[in-house]
Chain A
Amino acid sequence: MDDEAREFEQFARPHAAAALRLARTLVRDEADAQDILQDSFLRAFRHFRGFSGESPRAWLLSIVRNVSFTFRKKQGRFGGFEAAEPDEQLEELVDDGPSPEHTLLQACDAQEVRVALARLPTQSREVLVLREMEECSYREIASVLEVPIGTVMSRLSRARSQLLRELVGPTGSKN
């Protein structure tokens, strides 16, 4: 048991913080997020010896995501994840000319970014958190989200555009 525990520690612990951040992203409530994290670790502990994939992190994060998903369904308050938005519909954001939003953006602080992130739909939040905060590769993200890499690309593109809009408002018109 002790060996197993040590082994699991080496396997999972480096990703614990990432796992908690993802759980927070998906359920928002801190207490729920920690419960989900604990539950996810329990599951991972039972099964990690059978793991043979290439990224323990992606595997752990996908457990966290599944546990969150089940939790949210049970809560019934979200009715499951929000319906996936069509991935094709990317909005054109920027035209030519000088870039006022870039200047505005540079004035943003961390708190404003968190505010803006919290307003995004789950699908966008999770992909941003995985990419920007955990610095997951597209391949890892694809495995966590169980979608093709092309979908990761388009979700990320849309999520960043949404975040930009949250932070600096629609291009060309403040307020």
Chain B
Amino acid sequence: MEPLVEHPRAALHAYLDGELSLEGSLAVEEHLAGCPACRQRLETFRTLRKLVRAARPEAVEAESAFARVVPSAAGTESTAGPDATATTSARAEPVPNMPAVTDAPPGRGVGLAPLRRARRWPPLAMAGGLVAAAAVALVVLIPAQEMRRAASEVAEVHARARDTGRWVETASDDPSAVARWLEPRVQYPLPPFPTGDGFALRGARVEALQGAPVATAVYEVRQHVVDVFAWPSHEGDSEPIPTVTGPWTVCRWAHAGVAYWMVSDAGSDDLKRLAGFLKAQRT
């Protein structure tokens, strides 16, 4: 192999991953010896790789899926044999809540349609099962502790946006422009994010709550920034009850098939008014 005159790009990654032939490695090393920029890139990507590895989420739920297929393989929850086909039809249990319970992606319905299971949350899943069995309207009871955890995650996300100065990925005060920007990125239907009543739409960004993208509309009221997270949900309507987490006021509520988190350094009253405003615009 001839020595690399150009900076290795894909080959640098293959080198980092130990996937090059001996000859290929030597060629890259030869280049690296004379190219500080590439040495730097190599180190940067090495660090990146370490970071991604460290961010690997747990996947303990894999066990239960396995057990449903191979009953003898694990524990008690297996009733279905290998021939069971109740996979995509076994969808009747409601799910609830927010992305923030564990490190799972949000249990979000698509198109406001299918109800989901709270598989990562046994007590809730049980409650949900009962509700489904009784065929009554879904009432989500979110344990206080889980709420606090979720709230502090939302607050963290907000604080990070402030710290980095990256409030919005798209700056716009036009609700339909914001919707057009958000929709393809989160891939679920959005509620309107209107502007008015002292609440100015500043734009939007996409945040990951528990690893899944969540639409985040950014409002300003009396010079306070408010993040509004929204995703489809089948839980019943609920009123915003603001709580204070450090410097932030946080509240969660649901209205007509959409669950919301709001977080801001504005006061409780502002958040309640904003919730009221968003609701009013949907009816």
Interface residues of A (CB under 8 A from B): 1-2, 5-6, 8-9, 12-13, 16-21, 24, 28-31, 33-35, 37-39, 41-42, 45-46, 71, 75, 77-78, 90, 92-97, 99, 101-102, 105-106, 108, 110-115, 117-119, 128, 131-133, 137-138, 150, 153-154, 156-157, 160, 163-164, 167, 174-175
CB-CB under 8 A from B72, the residues of chain A are 2, 5-6, 9
- Of A2, A38, A114, chain B has the most CB atoms within 10 Å of the CB of A38
Report yes or no: A16 in contact with B47, Cβ–Cβ below 8 A: no
Report yes or no: B63 in contact with A16, Cβ–Cβ below 8 A: yes
Report yes or no: A75 in contact with B54, Cβ–Cβ below 8 A: no
Kindly state whether residue B107 has any CB partner on chain A within 8 Å: yes
Interface residues of B (CB under 8 A from A): 7, 9-14, 17, 19, 36-37, 40-41, 43-45, 47-49, 51-66, 68-73, 82, 84-85, 87-88, 90-91, 95, 103-108, 110-111, 116-117, 119-120, 156, 160, 164-166, 185, 187-188, 206-208, 211-213
Report yes or no: B95 in contact with A42, Cβ–Cβ below 8 A: no
Report yes or no: B52 in contact with A153, Cβ–Cβ below 8 A: no
Report yes or no: B59 in contact with A20, Cβ–Cβ below 8 A: yes
Q: How far is the CB of A132 from chain B (nearest CB, A)?
A: 4
Report yes or no: A157 in contact with B12, Cβ–Cβ below 8 A: yes
Number of A-B contacts (CB under 8 A): 204
Known contacts: A114-B55, A157-B12, A175-B166. The answer to whether A29 contacts B65 by CB under 8 A is no
Report yes or no: B51 in contact with A94, Cβ–Cβ below 8 A: no
Report yes or no: A175 in contact with B87, Cβ–Cβ below 8 A: no
Top 8 nearest A-B pairs by Cβ distance? A16-B62, A118-B208, A17-B59, A113-B55, A31-B116, A132-B52, A41-B69, A115-B208
Name the residue of chain A whose CB is nearest to the CB of B40. A99
Known contacts: A16-B59, A37-B65, A153-B19. The answer to whether A164 contacts B44 by CB under 8 A is yes
> Which residue from B10, B71, B95, B103 sits with its C-beta under 8 Å from A157?
B10
Report yes or no: B48 in contact with A39, Cβ–Cβ below 8 A: no
Report yes or no: A133 in contact with B53, Cβ–Cβ below 8 A: yes
Known contacts: A112-B160, A114-B208, A163-B52. The answer to whether A102 contacts B40 by CB under 8 A is yes
Further 14 A-B residue pairs, CB within 8 A, beyond A6-B72, A9-B73, A28-B187:
A2-B72, A16-B59, A20-B59, A34-B64, A38-B65, A96-B37, A96-B40, A99-B40, A105-B44, A133-B53, A153-B11, A156-B10, A157-B12, A175-B164
Known contacts: A78-B187, A160-B45. The answer to whether A16 contacts B82 by CB under 8 A is no
